[in-house]
Amino acid sequence: MNKLTVQKYGGTSVGSIERIRRVARKIIETKEEYGQVVAVVSAMGDSTDRLVEMAHSITDRPSEREMDMLLSTGEMVSISLLSMAIEAEGYEAVSLTGPQSGIITDLHHKNARILDIDTKRIKKELDSGRIVVAAGFQGITEKRDISTLGRGGSDTTAVALAAALKAEKCEIYTDVDGIYTSDPRKVKNAKKLDVISYDEMLELAFLGAQVLHPRSVELARKFNIPLEVKSSFEDKPGTRIVEVDQVEKVVVRGVTLDEDIAKITIMEVPDRPGIAFRLFSELAGESIPIDMIIQNISRDNVNDVSFTVKWDHLGKALSISRRVAVEIDARDVSFDDAVCKLSIVGTGIANSVDAASNLFESLFELGVNIQMISTSDIKISCIIDKSSGKEVLSHIHDRFILNDIEIGEKN
């Protein structure tokens, strides 16, 4: 008894009064079973969208500090209502804002990072037998202003609190029932995973699996917090995210498709030292993340340099590339937004002799041309034509995951 569980409930899980009541009962069950619960809660349903809309009806460019003040009210509404619902069932609860939970962040409004957590207040409330209902997504800066954590903020709050409070586990309740081998909306045969390693989950999250934000996975890995992603609407096991040695070894855990990218090519870049550095440092200076880069030695000491960026960054990346191209005497800049990125992810890839060749062979058999390749210990990504992306995804998924193809290990 008196083991602490941290649970996180997303916006859809508390999207209505009826759902808030259901979440209250779930929390009480956990309290009865384990002794202590901290529930981290997001803003109700689309309430954040409505607040953003109000701000934009005032001004196109609201200041980030004031946006954080405004947005933080969303979770304050859900935590107070949820606490009332718990109290209505005869249990003691206390809602705590980010500042009250002691979540101290840096000064980057709208995308703050947690610097420290002062757990005094939460511990006091838990010790006096109360269920703590903490606002996700928000904290307080050292200037004593309210900050918000940006995308995936509530997941991050939950994992950070679990780490700071040395919780037994952290459960992420959401509107899907776990992590899948691929996106079930795109791949008919996608299967729910019972278990996945932090590293694999991190890759999947970076590759666009929407369920968990990479920041929260990184944090869980760093502090070794057992995570579980579960449905808040059904009472069944979800997907546990654990250390790699606790996972049955497979070569490929998941297959992803990112259709949200574009490729930029700078043609005939003179082959002089420092040229690539110049381009990519200017892009980094504008906070444009570059994903894959290839450079082909084409002819006469000039190279073609290609790289991929997120769709959102295409316009800015293009204008920077065009400016730099002129400065470095490159011939021209082109772009291609009819591409997508197919990836296989699994901790077994590093030790597999033929994961890559199997992937390339499969793509060849499907008649798919590979435009770019990048690999890591646990991932192989290929840029391919967008038009056949979904079909290829299903084929590769079924071949690598359903058939669990025999792949030899490196000696």
Is the Cα dihedral 131, 157, 41, 67 positive or negative?
positive
**Minimum gap (Å) between residue 30 Cβ and a second copy:** 20
Query: In whole angstroms, what is the distance from residue 209 CA to residue 229 CA?
Result: 13
Query: Looking only at residues 3 through 42 of this chain, which bind a second copy when binding is defined by CB under 8 A?
Result: 17, 20-21
> Taking the mean position of all CA atoms in its chain, how far away is CA 100?
26
The residue (of 71 and 202) whose beta carbon lies closer to a second copy is: 71
The residue count of the chain comes to 411
* Part of the chain binding a second copy (CB under 8 A), chosen from 2-10, 84-92, 155-163, 282-290: 84-92
Query: In whole angstroms, what is the distance from residue 208 CA to residue 201 CA?
Result: 11
The residue (of 1 and 58) whose beta carbon lies closer to a second copy is: 58
Provide CB contacts within 8 A for 50, sequence distance 6+.
none
The verdict on 64 binding a second copy (CB under 8 A) reads: no
The residue (of 76 and 378) whose beta carbon lies closer to a second copy is: 76
- Which residue in the set 6, 23, 70, 333 belongs to the binding site for a second copy (CB under 8 A)? 70
Site mask for a second copy (CB under 8 A), range 144-173, x = bound: xxx---------------------------
Is the Cα dihedral 178, 182, 187, 192 positive or negative?
negative
| CB of 162 closer than 8 Å to CB of 82 | no
Give 178's DSSP letter: S
The verdict on 76 binding a second copy (CB under 8 A) reads: yes
DSSP string covering 254-289: EEEEE-SEEEEEEEEEE--TTHHHHHHHHHHHTT--
**Minimum gap (Å) between residue 375 Cβ and a second copy:** 46
**Minimum gap (Å) between residue 85 Cβ and a second copy:** 5
* Part of the chain binding a second copy (CB under 8 A), chosen from 95-103, 165-173, 193-201, 271-279: 95-103
**Minimum gap (Å) between residue 58 Cβ and a second copy:** 5
- Which residue in the set 22, 52, 87, 398 belongs to the binding site for a second copy (CB under 8 A)? 87
Burial bucket for residue 140 (CB in 10 Å: 0-12, 13-18, 19+): buried
Tell me the backbone φ, ψ of residue 254, rounded to 5 degrees.
-155, 160
The residue (of 130 and 313) whose beta carbon lies closer to a second copy is: 130
Query: In whole angstroms, what is the distance from residue 237 CA to residue 251 CA?
Result: 24
**Minimum gap (Å) between residue 61 Cβ and a second copy:** 8
- Which residue in the set 23, 37, 85, 219 belongs to the binding site for a second copy (CB under 8 A)? 85
* Bridge-based pairing state of the strands 227-231 and 169-174: parallel
> Taking the mean position of all CA atoms in its chain, how far away is CA 224?
18
* Part of the chain binding a second copy (CB under 8 A), chosen from 139-147, 154-162, 185-193, 320-328: 139-147
* Part of the chain binding a second copy (CB under 8 A), chosen from 30-38, 138-146, 248-256, 289-297: 138-146
List contacts with a second copy (CB under 8 A).
17, 20-21, 51, 54-55, 57-59, 62-63, 65-67, 69-70, 72-73, 76-77, 79-81, 83-85, 87-88, 93-95, 97, 100, 121, 144-146
